[in-house]
Structure 1
Amino acid sequence: MNTTVYALATPAGRSGVAVIRLSGVGAGGMLDAIAGLPRPAPRQAVLRGLRNASGVLMDRGLVVWFPGPGSFTGEDSAEFHVHGGPAVIEAVLEALDEAGGMPAEAGEFTRRAFENEKIDLTEAEGLADLIEAETEGQRVQALSQMSGALRQLYDGWRERLITAMASIEGEIDFPDEADVPDALSHAAHAPLSELIASMFAHLDDGRRGERVRTGFSIALIGAPNAGKSSLLNRLARRDAAIVTDIPGTTRDIVEVQLTLAGFPVVISDTAGLREAVDAIEAEGVRRALDRAEHADLRIGVADARSDDELKDLQGRLVDGDLLVLNKLDLAPRSGRDGAYRLSAKSGEGVGKLEARIEAIVRERLSAREMPALSRARHRRSVEAALEALVRCRDNLADAPELAGEDARLAVRALGSLTGRVDVEDILDRVFSQFCIGK
């Protein structure tokens, strides 16, 4: 934090404009040394000639001065907007190094903003997600988190818990005081129950926030030659999987990434489910079953002419899954109610299936009133806090000292979400995921 760091904040390579950022106690002096005096007015872009320590002109570009604490990092900061040629960028970076700057580590600018309490940990993660967002759903969720939606939720939980703790600690610390009612800790029962119910509701959301970040998983399952690979190709609108008349052509999982309803979706074609004829196929069937078990949605694909395939799928699908009767071009038109009858080969009926898949994705992932837990780290911390709160409530009547300790454990678990406690063990992991210059 006592050093001044610099980094290229735009992608490496040729571009019209490249942005080089620096932050730290020496940022103002480095700006003066390279861009000359007078120093620009705060947050106003000024065109300047940029010179190295030898006075050689490197480029003419815009410079911007951000005095702390009114900057992204909370420190004195500056930016050079230069022409995006590799030679220009390299010259400016070398000049900053000669002036005493240090190359920034990945995520160091955002970490300094966190250390200077400009943002909390959830907002930093939201910023990282916004940079990585590829779909509209990801953008909306990341922007909401970066704007403090999760921080407000977690801080609200924490404040409610601290209020309940006051009742518990009152009985522990002042058991004989006349102005402290008997069993004061019992007053914490109702607010703790409300808090537990709120946490349960957020955990029981089908991992919506994590699915928006990583992708909604769909597994195509069924017997060999049912048409799973043909259906995958039809949904992907390209030849993603090999299609032949030979049973067992697909041995490993073939994945296709799509965007449906503004959300990332991963559709997996799996090996045909049957008694394997060799070790390779057996491994493919094992992977297919594993992928099906962990998928958010299973689509069972059966040859519309085969009753055996249909019966086998009925034991593998659960409520909310979809059943497809394929090869409509070869089969009679009658069929089971609720099944999607189509021909993956000709495309007939596929549009109706696509519309239903999109509706399911939208229904399960669309933003709701309460913000979603967007990372596994968040879920683990909330689960730890919830377990401690349940123990706390159970111990209120007979063991207020134990209840108080469990409440403190829950407060620490919630504090780790936003970084309001010592979370050094997770900071390096969080910020190492950032790109250089951010």
Structure 2
Amino acid sequence: MEDPSGSGGWRFAQCFGDKGEVEDITEADIISTVEFDSTGNYLATGDKGGRVVLFERNEMKKGCEYKFYTEFQSHEPEFDYLKSLEIEEKINKIKWCKRQNSAHFLLSTNDKTIKLWKVFEKSLRVVSESNHHDGQRPLPPPTVKSHLRLPRMALQDNIIAAVPRKVYSNAHAYHIHSISVNSDQETYISADDLRINLWNLNISDQSFNIVDIKPVNMEELTEVITATEFHPTHCNLFMYSSSKSNIKLADMRDSALCFEEEEDPTTRSFFSEIISSISDVKFSHDGRYILSRDYLSLKIWDVNMENRPVKTIPIHDHLRGKLCDLYENDCIFDKFECVWSGDDQNVLTGSYHNYFRIYDTDTLNDVVLQADKSAFKIKKIGGAAPGQKLGAKNGARPNGLKDMMALDALDFNKKILHASWHPKEATIAIAATNNLFLYSAA
């Protein structure tokens, strides 16, 4: 059956955040990372103001809906007096640790400092009766020993508390852009442009440098590390990508394998190196495949075949002719993330004008959706989803949003850089400037 909207069964479910116009947005409110936990019952966002906001699944609702759980200030702005540098409070990444007890543990990082947070429910108790009070009623002071009584505590309220259990600092000379928790739940890695460090979650004052690509002479610097991730099941394997368009799969016990595609010299241009720089890499949940994102495309690699990707998916080929403009406005340096679905059957990545695309990994059939404010206006009046609205204009047009994506009137200030996929369901969380959008598929 033809899907007239081109929405692939996806529908807008929820939106959190201020619904104002883009021009009025405070910089601190812009979402800089979004991450589901391993159960999908909790969702975390970090913003440029250093805040972490947690959402909890709303069990009262039938569908996959979330409600506000708690918010805390994770990082504050700092100043490095030695280097005369301001260190932003912006949260670059959040990673959940697997839940071991009733408390949640998650790692958050800004450019320089990683923190391990414990989030737990705590009951507040107050003194309900004592020698001087019975509830709110004052009592005369006891005159004889037998009138003395022990104070009694009563439950007043339950609150959600967030406390930093560990602070891992002073280990990176450059800006931290990636953290990844190992499958053993005991160690994690953190990466900046030139180094990757291995940490034990319980030891905050010591880390091991496991990758160092810093040249002796910095003038000879030709590449930087752009992303890193641990293998989902093998605790000795991890990978990292570079600005030189390659991915290295490394074994901490031995050596590294390099995934690299030969460049076609006929297509080489001034922008080749910039647009081929890999901005994100992700292992599939079974560890068999690697998903990588560069400026114009997504690539799926088989870990057993390092010379070329299994599939190359163009994301916004229509921008090839606009690379000069994108270089002028710095958009060519935007770092788009990519994610696998929980069953590894689909992949997702973002584009401009708040468009994002979901691809079937077998057929490469794709769905284009837009995280747009019209979504919740339409929901209020009971209309169609934004994809359906646009797709149905001038009759049924399966390429509704795809055609819109290629138009010249794209707003390059609106971009979908960060997203997360529910580990067990067809639900996705999309960060669109200062709003968090949730979409679900039937």
Relative to the length of structure 2, the TM-score reads 0.21
Structure with the higher helix share, 1 or 2: 1
Relative to the length of structure 1, the TM-score reads 0.21
Structure with the higher strand share, 1 or 2: 2
Instruction: Flag the structure with larger Rg.
Output: 1
